[in-house]
Amino acid sequence: MNAATKGKITDVKELENIAKKIRLHILHMLTRAGSGHTGGSLSAVDAAVAIYFSKMNFNPEDPSWKDRDRFILSKGHAAPLLYAIMAEAGYFPFETIGTLRKIESPLQGHPCCKSLPGVEVSTGSLGQGLSVANGMALGLRLDNNPAKVYCIMGDGEIQEGQIWEAAMTAAHYKIDNLCAVVDNNGLQIDGPVQKIMGIAPIHDKWAAFGWHVIDIDGHNMEEILRALDEAEGVKGKPTVLIANTTKGKGVSFFEGKVEYHGVAPSAEEYERAVKEINNG
């Protein structure tokens, strides 16, 4: 059954509850694996949940359904986020999430479309996802297919030159069935984004490249939903949401700490984090 048939979720509280569950799934996977990317997986949860469960048409029983909307996690190191959402959506048995990063598991450290149906493209080599999203969106347009393409990028990722080639291309070809999201959490593996390679002013740069730009609080579900609604109405140009977020969002002792970019929770941290999220 696809999402269009069973009805998309528009209730803010229900989406917030799903986001809480996704954060718990992410922490469970990472702690079991003993490795992986905590901070950036948690920061992008709210935008990804809003996209997947309030907007997208998809069919877990037929992942290649031609009329599905496409979701590209360009920041592929945040794979636990994608897997948690796919498990919640019914793409694979829930107990599979405990196999993250295990040998022969379909849930590897970066998403692989050859091993997990429902993953649109293998990602992890940063900077490539937006180009792939462009190609998919153009292909859909050529087929007169009304499906949309969503692409989540990291803020450190947009230091990559290919992102800006893709940004220029999307505007030139007026790819208005594409909505991109920048997970602007301010931190990358080596430290603050502005210190490593400054990307500000982000809004002005995307606007200068011909995009419709919407700045949002990336943890405010109402704002995210309004922005996604606005993006659907934009014609003649692509849309990008600058989602201002907090690395490690949802767990106070992970939030804003660069050291949790690529470090999994310990067993003790996991227990503390679960209690905090459940009591939040």
Identify the CA nearest to 128 among candidates 103, 161, 102, 106. Answer: 161
Average pLDDT for the chain: 96
**How far apart are alpha carbons 128 and 162 in whole angstroms?**
7
pLDDT of 2 reads 46
Tell me if the pTM is above 0.85: yes
Task: Note the pLDDT tens digit of each residue in 79-120.
Answer: 999 999 999 999 999 999 999 999 999 999 999 999 999 999
Q: Which helix (H) or strand (E) holds 86?
A: helix 79-89
pLDDT at 122 over 90: yes
pLDDT of 7 reads 61
Sequence ranges of the domains in the chain? 3-279
Q: In the block, which residue shows the tokens 């180009």?
A: 131
pLDDT of 217 reads 98
**How far apart are alpha carbons 85 and 90 in whole angstroms?**
9
Identify the CA nearest to 155 among candidates 179, 181, 131, 134. Answer: 181
- Which CATH class, in words, describes the domain spanning 3-279? alpha beta
